[in-house]
Structure 1
Amino acid sequence: MPGGNGPRRWAAAGVGPLLGARARRRWVHLILGGALLMPYFLLAEVVVGLMAGVGNVLGSPRLTFAAYGASLPLVAATAVFALVRPMSVGAVRALCGVPGERLADGPARTWRARGRTSAWWTLHLGVGAAVSGMSLAVPPMAVVLIALPFVPRLREVPMGDGWFAAAAAPYTAPLLGIGLLCGLVLCAAAAGALLARAAPVLLGSTAADRLAAAEERAADLAVRNRLARELHDAVGHALSAVTLQASAARRVLDDDPGFVREALAAIEDTTRRTVGELDAVLGLLREGDGADGAAGPGPAPTLAADLDGLLARSRAAGVPITAHQDPEPPGDWARLPALASREGYRIVQEGLSNALRHGTGPVELWIAVRGDEDGTRRELEITMTNPPDTADGAKPRGTGGRGLRGAAERAALLGGRVEAGPDGGRWRLRAVLPLGGEER
């Protein structure tokens, strides 16, 4: 009957917090703390024994508690080491039933966090040692008391002169033994609940931890965005060019074999070049990670070294391109800052990719270095225009997709800007990248 489960549920609700799975795991956590205290206790025992002139400290309850108290400052001092907090957090997550998001990750970064970790370490080991001692001493004592009325030989065993001997009456001893076991369970449950409540306070994230975690997430996101930009620009342009070249070759396959051969050669050159750019992209993402001392990949493409090849590959895809450069090559292009030259190349590459995918006519490209007469402010200006694709009722492009957003991000990283949109019946992309006071 449904009502018959009521007493059983009440019993489970009453016993669960004391002997349930979570309570048992917390008990194990406390015993682990007691085991970790033993090296400190043994060291303190030696010191206390020498000071008291006693060989066996454990023979005196007063000296035993003195050694226990002397071990706690040693525990607190060693908690400043970096490994203590991660180890404690792992144990709490596994055994105390505390949600992981309420605890900090990694070592303590500030002295305040180290102080909180020290308080936790001392609390865990100190309370754990007390519960461990009770767990070792109480069960044998309780078993003797419970069995005392039923085993006559136990009554002949000397019980000592303390309260244990006075309480060991044959008919009251079992009640005392059961009470001791219940008291042990209650103490262990209370100590486990205490540590579970203290863990988020002492092992929780500090403001420095939250700031470090946010910075780590931001850095990871920046790396992922950088990877997305580099792959989009390097691979996207190559795929656009190869697609147009293959499509043109397919249309004239039977009529113009010479053009087909040229298109296939251009495809081969484009793909080979793209593999090299992929190596350069991976090299950029691994900057600063050269612990093995191995030689990295080739340099990333730049305006100074690779613009002519980019224009040639784009022209081979069938798009007329007129380029205007100021100063004219070789000029001072090699003296551009490496970062500006690299990002400028990617912006030009993205503009040409858009022209290949969406344009219908010739592309006009202007690249110039502008600056004040005294050279205090210099900028690299890139402007590209081409007719948009509006055939068959197609709408002109808006402000661009991922590629143009990536170009804007590249420019923003250098303190520059990118503008893209319709301009007098043509599509116009303009980027301005600051170069600082002088080129180098």
Structure 2
Amino acid sequence: MRGFARFLFGRRARLRWIHLILGGALAMPYVFVGEVVLGTATGAMDFGSSPLQLASFAFGLPVAALTSLFPLTRPLEAGAVRWLCGVDADRLAYGPARTRAAKGRTAAWFTLHLGLGGVISGMSLAVPPFAVVLIVLPLFARLRGIGGWLPEVMDHTWALALAPVAGVAMLVALAGCAAGAGALLARWAPPLLGPAPEDRLAAAEARAAELAVRNRLARELHDSVGHALSAVTLQAGAARRVLGSDPEFVREALAAIEETTRRTVGELDAVLGVLRDGDTPGTAPAPTLAADLDGLLRRVGAGGPRVTATVDADPATLPPLVSREAYRIVQEGLSNALKHAGDQVAVTLRIEVVGEHLEITVENPLGDAAAYRPGGGHGLRGIADRARLLGGSAEAGASGGAWRLNVRLPMKGPA
């Protein structure tokens, strides 16, 4: 019983009733147009007559279906359905109807909304006053003769006793009709106002593009900031150990720290500029092998590790995309070697062109297992993602007492 009462008079039922009343209000201009057109055509200018009103209502619905082709109809109707009918937002489409099928579904929905809304609005105006009169009729005898609109049967005692029951039944029936019509609209809203397959495909492509941008920004932040923090930590530690014995080394380490942090702040500003709504990206250029390979090796070597680099390729001739991604791969490979193997190991870097591929190899001794730091794992995943996006491959693992990272990038970039 409580569930039935909630279905008739609960908050959702009341909101759906409001939605139907709005549909009736939207139908009124079309009804007026129908009255003018039909009244002029037939000569029946009695606008208060029921036949003319019904005919005008039937005439106005097709006109409403035509006006539903305006682009704003579906977004406005979808917003009203979401808030008043309780339909989940992801089951509705909020953009204008583009295809012929979507426009047809929107026209069908608009006609259904205005049709049911007009009927329920008319009932909501006519039924409550009559029902209230029936409810209070036994208490006010003079109401029985008003305008002669109550039947003579009301002069009988049994009819007066049943009049309040009939009035309450009429109100409950009105609530039931409104609740049923509201539930029907909520049931048909997703098929008629929901996204079509092409809308879902466009939304999925937009989400995939946004996710790809976010993943790229995450890789850039991880590689740039993570490498900078690892390099600065190693450089500061090395400078602290020889602070009193080798001032020249300390000056070089501090200079490397300054340069590393300055470049990283510029790169961080460029990446964060993409994340700020309405802000332009930073102007710091993306680092490449041609622009900063020597600087990268100098900054890494300032922290103490011995980096032996062999470059059998001209960085200036590499495609810009390959050069940029290769720089990040070298940066992350050296950062992983320093972070996990320590600053006293010898790191070997080799960059060469083999056929139509650029091969990058970073190798360092495993050394004492206690020197390795726990955690991590995102760097190698980011390297693999960068190689895969270019159509290349990446392999990493321990072999023969050394840790080896090997990456192959096609010179022509992704297909």
Q: TM-score, normalised by structure 2?
A: 0.86
Give the Cα separation in 1 of the matches to 2:13 and 2:372: 67
1:79 to 55, 68, 72: 68
Change in Cα spacing, 1:308 to 1:54, as seen in structure 2 (3 Å) is farther
- For the residue of structure 2 that corresponds to 1:220, the secondary structure is helix
Encode CA deviations 1:182-232: one digit per residue, 9 max, x unaligned: 332232222122223222333344433433333233223222211111001
Give the drift of 1:234. 0.5
Q: Could you say which residue in structure 1 is the equivalent of 2:256?
A: 266
Encode CA deviations 1:162-187: one digit per residue, 9 max, x unaligned: xx554773454735544433332232
Give the Cα separation in 2 of the matches to 1:30 and 1:278: 53
Does the 8 Å contact 1:340/1:433 carry over to 2? yes
Q: Matches of residues 19-418 of structure 1 in structure 2 within 5 Å?
A: 19-56=9-46, 58-104=47-93, 106-108=95-97, 110-148=99-137, 150-159=139-148, 164-166=149-151, 169-171=154-156, 172=159, 174=163, 177-282=167-272, 296-328=282-314, 333-359=315-341, 360-371=344-355, 378-388=356-366, 390-391=367-368, 401-418=377-394
Encode CA deviations 1:255-312: one digit per residue, 9 max, x unaligned: 33333222222111110011112233346778xx9x88x6851321111111111111
Encode CA deviations 1:48-80: one digit per residue, 9 max, x unaligned: 333234445x32222211221122122222333
Encode CA deviations 1:66-96: one digit per residue, 9 max, x unaligned: 2211221222223334433333333233322
Give the Cα separation in 2 of the matches to 1:168 and 1:406: 87
- For the residue of structure 2 that corresponds to 1:121, the secondary structure is helix
**Counterpart code for 2:397:** G
**Counterpart code for 1:344:** A
Encode CA deviations 1:350-393: one digit per residue, 9 max, x unaligned: 1111121123522222222333xxxxxx32222222222x3155
**Counterpart code for 1:191:** A
Give the Cα separation in 2 of the matches to 1:249 and 1:396: 21
Does the 8 Å contact 1:385/1:426 carry over to 2? yes
Give the Cα separation in 1 of the matches to 2:373 and 2:172: 81
Does the 8 Å contact 1:145/1:168 carry over to 2? no
Give the drift of 1:150. 4.3
CA RMSD of aligned residues (A): 3.0
**Counterpart code for 1:214:** A
Structure 2 unmatched ranges of 5 or more: none
- For the residue of structure 1 that corresponds to 2:411, the secondary structure is strand
Q: Could you say which residue in structure 2 is the equivalent of 1:432?
A: 408
Structure 1 unmatched ranges of 5 or more: 1-9, 372-377
Give the drift of 1:104. 4.5
**Counterpart code for 2:336:** N
Moved more, 260-269 or 319-328: 319-328
Give the Cα separation in 2 of the matches to 1:240 and 1:62: 85
- For the residue of structure 1 that corresponds to 2:243, the secondary structure is coil
Give the Cα separation in 1 of the matches to 2:234 and 2:92: 55
Change in Cα spacing, 1:14 to 1:300, as seen in structure 2 (3 Å) is closer
Q: Could you say which residue in structure 2 is the equivalent of 1:6?
A: none
Does the 8 Å contact 1:387/1:426 carry over to 2? yes
Give the Cα separation in 2 of the matches to 1:186 and 1:17: 8
Does the 8 Å contact 1:149/1:170 carry over to 2? no
- For the residue of structure 2 that corresponds to 1:298, the secondary structure is coil
- For the residue of structure 2 that corresponds to 1:428, the secondary structure is strand
Give the Cα separation in 2 of the matches to 1:206 and 1:396: 51
**Counterpart code for 1:383:** T
Change in Cα spacing, 1:23 to 1:402, as seen in structure 2 (3 Å) is same
**Counterpart code for 2:337:** A
**Counterpart code for 2:368:** A
Give the Cα separation in 2 of the matches to 1:197 and 1:61: 31
Share of identical aligned residues, percent?
61
Does the 8 Å contact 1:110/1:208 carry over to 2? no
How many aligned residue pairs are there? Answer: 406
